[in-house]
Amino acid sequence: MSMHYKRGVPSKINRDFHSRRVDAAFISSITAKKHQHVDLGIIAKKEVLSVLVAPCENEIKDGDSATSNVLARVLKVKGEVLIGDKALRYYLKNKPHIDLAKEWQKKHNLPFVFALLCFHKDKKIYQKIQKEFLKQKVKIPQYILKEASSRTKISGKDIVKYLEHISYKLDFKAKRGLLKFYNEANKIKKG
């Protein structure tokens, strides 16, 4: 079996998965609801540093992420939604912001699941990947860290600090948080 890695913003990854250009992907939790997944995700136990709302008078969605936009609405946080590298750069400048994962944790005392590893077929393969991935401590080779730092204009030290806020195991509390998010999202959809 060969694996090819692709990266992109959540909205592009979601489109690639839905159009079956990829067999499996970490897709946004709001869209993952209808798909098969393993117990592997992108999870924030407390703050996440890369999903923020910057204060402003208007409600401005981030076109790169459906989940973060819905989360801001669920939490009734108004302003400009920022995700990913632009959010992390904003955070590092110490500008006023609300960390949506931290806000979720304060309100519900549960982790927030931003994405799930979903697949179209071959469940056993992805269960094996999950098992192997969770067995080892995540280490980033220096050449990858340097490349990421160069591409994002964020120091390697700050990237490592950010990654310490991410968890990957979809445990019992994370599943409860995900279910709570789905229920809250349904309420605003109906309301």
CATH for 147:
3.40.190
Q: Which residues, including other chains, have CB under 8 Å from residue 23's CB and lie 6 or more apart?
A: 119, 120, 121, 122
User: With 80 as the cut, is the pLDDT of residue 76 above it?
Assistant: yes
Q: Tell me, what's the pLDDT at 64? A: 85
Task: List the beta bridge partners of residue 116.
Answer: 27, 41
Residue 172 located in a structural domain: yes
Residue 3 located in a structural domain: no
Query: Residue 33: which domain range?
Result: 10-183
Residue 152 located in a structural domain: yes
Q: Look up the pTM and report it.
A: 0.88
Residue 27: C-alpha distances to residues 24, 56, 97, 107, 145 (Å)? 9, 28, 25, 24, 23
Residue 5 located in a structural domain: no
For 93-135, the pLDDT digits (tens) are 999 999 999 999 999 999 999 999 999 999 999 999 999 989 8
The torsion angles phi and psi of 60, rounded to 5 degrees, stand at -120, 120
Residue 117: C-alpha distances to residues 120, 128, 164 (Å)? 11, 12, 19
- Domains contained in the chain, number: 1
Q: Which residues, including other chains, have CB under 8 Å from residue 22's CB and lie 6 or more apart?
A: 6, 13, 16
